[in-house]
Amino acid sequence: MTPSPDFKDLRVVLVEPSRAQSTLIRRLLEQQGLSVPEVSASGREALAAMASLRPDLVVSSLHLPDMSGTELVTAMRRHPDLRHIPFILVSSETRPQRLEAVRQAGACSILPKPFGPHQLQRALFGAVDHRRRDVSLDDLDPESLRVLLVDDSRTSLGHYRRMLEELGVRRICEAVNGVEAVTLLAETMVDLVITDYNMPEMDGHRLVEYIRSQSWQSSVPVLMLTSEADETRLAAVERAGVSAICDKSFDQATIRRLLAEALAH
């Protein structure tokens, strides 16, 4: 995979107590064009390295000898000089209750262990966006945002609608597959499309292709929600022009950030 110019020369503090894992992760980061001047084995070492280096990004394991990754990002967010540094967690942990804490603490992305180049690149794009945009939904008007939700699960649609309404979004329309979404897009202007990947009749990939090539709303931001793990399929969706890909277990902090970015545009 060709490294993105967005990542060139970004300085990373890598926090990983395992020498084998740190070597592997460092190699993957450097393949994307990042500079890794410091590898720390503990949270205290990492905080000291951040204070001296002021890195552009921190990539950390969840389990450290002196603290957890959650405690590390919490300490960063409390420090006035470190609070804005993007934080990516790398973990084999899958339990939502364990990962929710680190998301709420301020992690901008969570990478599974092991991860591949496509997953890393998506996480890095999220970190770059975090650095570039300091946009708060509180400073904007969520009631003006028009959102189209597309999912074949009525349960999921209800869940997403509740999350959006809790953030102040009121103008929401729904479709149960890509075909219905195409019809709605022909008749209704929207500011953001949030779509599932796996759907009958027209899946999320084909919907993104249609929006970018045939819809009169070809520039609308499209957020793809998926549990798909096949990197080849996800890469095809990225090439089709999706704005962002998010794990289906996304939290409210993530959707809040994405809504703020859509409103800013």
CATH number for 222: 3.40.50.2300
Q: Are residues 54 and 92 in the same domain?
A: yes
pLDDT in tens, 63-83: 999 999 999 999 998 898 898
In terms of domains, do 191 and 206 share one? yes
The contacts of residue 254 (CB under 8 Å, 6+ apart) are 103, 246
Q: Per the omega criterion (within 30 degrees of 0), is the bond before 114 cis?
A: yes
- Domain end: 115, 132, 149, which one? 132
135 has pLDDT over 70:
no
Please give the residue range of the domain that contains residue 184: 137-264
Task: Please provide residue 71's backbone torsions phi and psi, each rounded to the nearest 5 degrees.
Answer: -70, -35
Mean pLDDT (whole number) for 230-236: 73
Answer whether 168's CB lies under 8 Å from 139's CB.
Answer: no
- Check whether residue 162 and residue 127 sit in a common domain: no
Average pLDDT over residues 175-186: 94
Nearest to 178 by CA among 193, 162, 159: 193
Q: pTM for the full model?
A: 0.54
Among 86, 110, 132, identify where a domain stops: 132
Please give the Cα distance from 220 to 189 (Å, whole number): 9
Under 8 Å CB-to-CB from 179, ≥6 apart: which residues?
Answer: 201, 202
Give 174: exposed, middle or buried? Use CB within 10 Å, 0-12, 13-18, 19+: middle
Same domain, 164 and 73: no
Q: Which two tokens stand for residue 144?
A: 């003006």
Q: How many domains does the chain have?
A: 2
Residue 78: its H or E element: helix 69-78
**Domain co-membership, 179 together with 235:** yes
pLDDT at 134: 47
Measured distance CA(253)–CA(77) in Å, rounded: 15
Which residues make Cβ contacts (< 8 Å) with residue 177, sequence separation at least 6?
150, 152, 199, 200, 201, 202
Residue 188 backbone dihedrals phi, psi, to 5 degrees: -130, 130
Residues 109 and 141 in one domain: no
Asked which of 132, 163, 192 is the last residue of a domain, the reply is: 132
Q: Who has greater pLDDT, 137 or 188?
A: 188
pLDDT attached to residue 115: 84
**Same structural domain, 157 and 255:** yes
Residues 257 and 154 grouped into a single domain: yes
Give Cα separations from 128 to 125, 238, 260, 265 (angstroms). 5, 17, 15, 16
Residues 143 and 241 in one domain: yes
Is residue 261's pLDDT more than 70?
Answer: no
Sign of the dihedral through C-alpha 25, 31, 34, 35 = positive
3-state secondary structure of 83: coil
* Dihedral sign of CA atoms 70, 76, 79, 83 in order: negative
Together in a domain, 128 and 154? no
Same domain, 76 and 111: yes
Cβ atoms < 10 Å from Cβ of 227: 10
| Cβ(100)–Cβ(251) below 8 Å | yes
96 and 150 in a single domain? The answer is no
For residue 223, is pLDDT > 90?
no
